[in-house]
Structure 1
Amino acid sequence: MFGRIDKSKGLLFVTHDLDHSIRLTMQNMQQEVEGLDENRLLNTPPEDLKRYLVEKFGITPITLLRDQWHADHQDVPVDVRHDPMRWIDDRTRPAMVAGERVEVRIPFEGEPELLYTKANTFNMNPPRALIEKNEIVLRYDTPADQPRDVRALVDQTLKEIEQHLGWQRPMIDAHNQNLPAAAEQAIGQRRERLLAQSQRAEALGIPIRRRADAPKTYALPTVKRKVVPTLPPATTAQFKPEPALAMELYEHILKVVQDMALVVERSPDAFKAMNEEALRQHFLVQLNGQFEGRATAETFNMAGKTDILLREGDRNVFIAECKFWKGPKAFGEAIDQLLGYATWRDGKTAILVFNRGTETSTVLTGIDTIAKAHSNFKRTNDWPHESGFRYTFHANGDKNRELILTVLVFHVPR
């Protein structure tokens, strides 16, 4: 990031310009995205690639570890030729007398090069110190006949260093805050460009549309709710685009499901005797009343015992499992079952948990614990919801083939 640095001079915070270094770091990040193999970029989940770029091009500010500092001293000859209070015949040559060297070492965390980098705010009297690995070294040589207490000098130098580090921190924080969005934009722009160039873009969306005359069935008010990293593993084999359900359609499907669940909760007598299959049929009716698609005559259909499926060709694009809560173990089996059906990249899935009689908090805790412990779990998504979670999982045998799993818990009358 900062290039080569001459550390022998002792002057800190003068060698490089932090603003220029930050701009160069952003450019290097963008160049890395542009330099990635085309198929590797397309085969790598964007979120994984973004995380790698943020880790690699983020800047770790300096933090002094004052509680770990230590000092040492030793006898050394000291050159006093520049001391005006001494009588010295020839000041052009070293005049050595017995003396003492005190060396104070202050460990630090962060990128050592920052100690040689000037912030936008600075002064014309920078501190001096030596940098050895991840330690600041303050060295004081004193003649034996003129001993002095160096503690005040140490405190003053560290105060000046902390001042310069304080000037750096807002610039570094701003860079680190902007980096994820910049990385996401760089990745997205190159992906779009590559797909457009090869005329693949149209293959990434399913021709599914919401009916213009779709009834607003059960519509209810919505309630707002530095180790150097390595590239994530990915193949450079030819990228094969796969249809993906648009996120806005996925959210609308879930909205229809939640609206139907509220009807169940508010009309307990009509639904209390229903089993999984009967409840699932009500959800299917509402979904097919809202959407139409080319995959089948009936866009949403059942397959197996508990699935709600949206298919494109011979693969499942949206899958929802309907399960009564029977404990954490059964929920883990539902995840396994879902992963067995999810075969496309960027698949959208859901598990609808019908809860009869168990404390909701107990159910939510069990769901979150089992999901995060699953071997295919990748991350929790930012999706605030009072009775559900959203996760990213990877497909069986392929960590680059991601799917979104939304889990919703509904109370079903007994």
Structure 2
Amino acid sequence: MRQHSRPFGTESLRQLLADRLDRALKRINAWNADELLASPEADIIKYLIDEYGAEAPVMHRDQRQRLPSTEHVVPVDDFMGRRDVRQAEITIVVPCEGDMDLMRYRPGSYTSLLSGQSARIVGSEIHVTWRGDTADPAVVLQKINGELDVIERNLGHARSEIASHNELLRQTVPARVSRRKSQLLADRELEAALGIPVRQKDGPPAFSVPVSRRQVMPRRQPGVAEPFRAEWELLDKDYEEAIRVITHSRNALERTPGTIAKLGEEDIRNLLLVSLNSTFMGASGGELFNGDGKTDILIRVEDRNVFIGECKIWDGPQVVGDALTQLLKYHIWRDSKGALLLFIRRGDATNATQKAIQRIEEHPNYKRTLDARPSEGRYDFVIRANDDLEREIHLALLPFVLPIKQGR
């Protein structure tokens, strides 16, 4: 940013913001294909909105300060001839935040600054200087405040244009990213379906099963991403169906407290497996869901786990931390979806659920929280895998409120 520049120059703020949006859309089209396919859409979208969005400048007039006063010499020609007149010079400094570079551009609705006054952008501050020979403080304050009022009015118009730009960016970018990613995936699926090897300079073929994704952070520069390799992944509709079957079974169990109180955790898990296997069947008629140990619920494709469910009895927040540690150990590099089934058999279920959510959000692999659905008894998160910190795992927390038979 140029230092000591005048606010609201001749260049158009509206055109500047339109150019930013255009650059964002061109950036999507120019993004390295392998990197785009390998990155979660949410990360790409956030990067683009942060990079090409705008933070409106805000003045903090309540924090204004005065610089030490100085004298200013002005040459004057009058009936006494040419002479130098010394005038007082008082500068008020107003701190600001936001992108001060945007203050150099003129909004569509604009009011000219007052004549005879001097306003400058200096770093992250606005300096308004008064020069004159009056000794009346009220006059000085009136002129300085008048200039600040005009600046604030122009900033209000600028903030409105910037807010509209940011909203347009939020509406446009996700659809464009999704569309380009879908087009690239369709191209890769077509290439894989041809069954003809891809000519490579060196290394293995670049394409395999064209269904999944792999995350690469947007900060990586185009051209350095590894070739995209599609992977086995549980489709969203199948993942939602698995969660639906589990929650439906949970609701049925919760409605039969007398029966469920007599069952142990392994018995409950086996009931869930029966429900899942009645819905998901392999092509050869074999079971897709298998119990591995006493707590795991798995979907396996070939030799890979694409869905992992971990069952835990609530006994404090540490249980949730232990469950996440286990889940992350089970999740190998192709895994992308899982669920934590939390059996709450004693105490306040609402309080236990809130503490479980807090523990997940405090975990070092936690990335972000998705939509919570308390009415459905479901809470969704995104966490990072252990062996590849750039890979995302979608985790659903499903609390089960199950009584236990006294004396157990």
TM bracket, shorter-chain basis: 0.7 to 0.9
- CA 243–295 in structure 1, closer or farther in 2 if over 3 Å, else same: farther
Matches within 5 A, 1:35-54: 35-54=30-49
Aligned to 1:23: 18
1:258 — aligned with what?
A: 247
The partner residue of 1:353 within 337, 342, 346 is 342
Give the unaligned 5+ runs of structure 1: 207-229
The answer to whether residue 191 in structure 2 is matched with residue 166 in structure 1 is: no
In structure 1, the partner of 2:390 is 400
CA 1:148–1:300: 2 relative to 1, 3 Å: closer
Q: Distance in 1 between matches of 2:324 and 2:137?
A: 74
Asked if the contact 2:70–2:90 (Cα under 8 Å) also holds between the matched residues in 1, the reply is no
User: Aligned-pair distance for 1:375?
Assistant: 1.7
Please say if residues 345 and 403 of structure 1, whose CA atoms lie closer than 8 Å, have aligned partners that are also in contact: no
Structure 2 length-normalised TM: 0.84
CA gap of 1:88–1:257, structure 2 versus 1, over 3 A, is farther
Question: Where do 1:146-225 residues align within 5 Å?
Answer: 149-199=139-189, 203-205=209-211
Report the CA distance shift for 1:395/1:73 in structure 2 as closer, same or farther (over 3 A): closer
In structure 2, C-alpha distance between the alignment counterparts of 1:61 and 1:149, rounded to whole Å? 31
Taking the TM superposition and a 5 Å limit, the aligned residue runs for 1:6-405 are 8=5, 10=6, 12-81=7-76, 86-87=78-79, 89=81, 95-123=83-111, 125-127=112-114, 129-143=119-133, 149-199=139-189, 203-205=209-211, 231-232=218-219, 236-294=225-283, 297-345=286-334, 347-386=336-375, 387-405=377-395
Amino acid at match of 2:281: E
Shift of 1:253: 1.6
DSSP 3-state at the match of 2:292? coil
Across the aligned residues of Structure 1 and Structure 2, the Cα RMSD in angstroms comes to: 2.7
Q: How far off is 1:380 after superposition?
A: 0.9
Q: Is the 8 A contact 2:66 2:90 kept in 1?
A: yes
Q: Take 2:334 and 2:93, find their aligned partners in 1: how far apart are those partners? A: 53
Preserved contact between residue 62 and residue 110 of structure 1 (Cα < 8 Å) = yes
Cα distance in structure 2, aligned partners of 1:334 and 1:317: 17
Partner secondary structure for residue 198 of structure 1: helix
- Offset of 1:148 from its aligned partner? 8.2
Deviation string, structure 1 residues 32-56 (Cα, Å, up to 9, x no partner): 2333333222333222222222222
**SS of alignment partner, residue 149 of structure 1:** helix
Identity %: 29
- Label 1:295 to 1:247 Cα distance change in 2 as closer, same or farther (>3 A): farther
Using the alignment, how far apart are the partners of 1:231 and 1:254 within structure 2?
31
Residue 68 (structure 1) shift: 2.1
Look up the equivalent residue of 1:133 and give its one-letter code: G
TM-score calculated relative to the size of structure 1 = 0.83
Q: Distance in 2 between matches of 1:345 and 1:17?
A: 49
Give how far 1:154 is off. Answer: 0.8
Q: Hey, what's the Cα distance between the residues in 2 that align with 1:316 and 1:88?
A: 96
Cα 1:346–1:132 change in 2 (3 A) is farther
AA aligned opposite 2:65? H
* Cα distance, 1:126–1:142 mapped onto 2, change above 3 Å: closer
Q: Is the 8 A contact 2:305 2:335 kept in 1?
A: no
